[in-house]
Amino acid sequence: MSTSLPPRSLGVGRVLIAVYAILALAATARSVVQIIEDFDAAPVAYALSALSGVVYIVATVALVRPGLVWYRIAWATISFELLGVLVVGTLSIFDQELFPSDSVWSFYGSGYLFIPLVLPVLGMIWLYGRRPAVTTDQVVAPA
């Protein structure tokens, strides 16, 4: 495991991680409610909601943990989220039966103030700025 990665859990990155944690909590909790109460109404959408909740949790952990492996997991989960919100967001417009408006990614995350759409992009920009090859020094400004 490389120790030359700039730390990802300092400075403004803390805010990103905090927002991820809240979104992970919200998405997971809500999908549990949806699955318990109303799974038959939209099994595809609610199963995807649960999956997205789990992925948000993994992404949150990956952002906090140091090391190259977690860095790659962070990229994978955040890419998955961006793909998810774009695909499901588009599908929800054209096929409302499959994706009712109350899943996390429906209508590009409009039920969550579009945070699911914006957050992966911010996460990618931030991860790119922390990529291993750039520098071995800490580039995070003291807060």
Instruction: Tell the smallest beta-carbon distance from residue 133 to other proteins (Å).
Output: 26
Site for other proteins (CB under 8 A): which residue of 3, 94, 97, 113?
Answer: 113
Q: Residue type for 96, please?
A: Q
CB of 126 to other proteins, least distance (A): 13
Mask 9-28, x = binds other proteins (CB under 8 A)?
--xx-xx--xx-xx--xx--
- CA–CA dist 69, 28 (Å, integer): 24
Residues in the interface with other proteins (CB under 8 A) total 18
**Cβ atoms of 124 and 16 closer than 8 Å:** no
For residue 127, which phi and psi values (nearest 5 degrees)?
A: -65, -40
Burial 76-104 (b: 16+ CB within 10 A, else e): ebbebbbebbeebbebbeeeeebbeebbb
Structure tokens that stand for 75 in this block: 């990229």
Q: Which is nearer to other proteins, 60 or 92 (CB)?
A: 60
**Which residue, 32 or 82, is less far from other proteins as judged by CB?**
32
Cβ at position 28, least distance to other proteins in Å:
9
Q: Rule CB under 8 A: is residue 32 a binding residue for other proteins?
A: yes
Return the sign of the alpha-carbon dihedral for residues 67, 121, 112, 88: negative
Q: Does 36 bind other proteins (CB under 8 A)?
A: yes
Binding site for other proteins (CB under 8 A): 11-12, 14-15, 18-19, 21-22, 25-26, 29-30, 32-33, 36-37, 113, 143
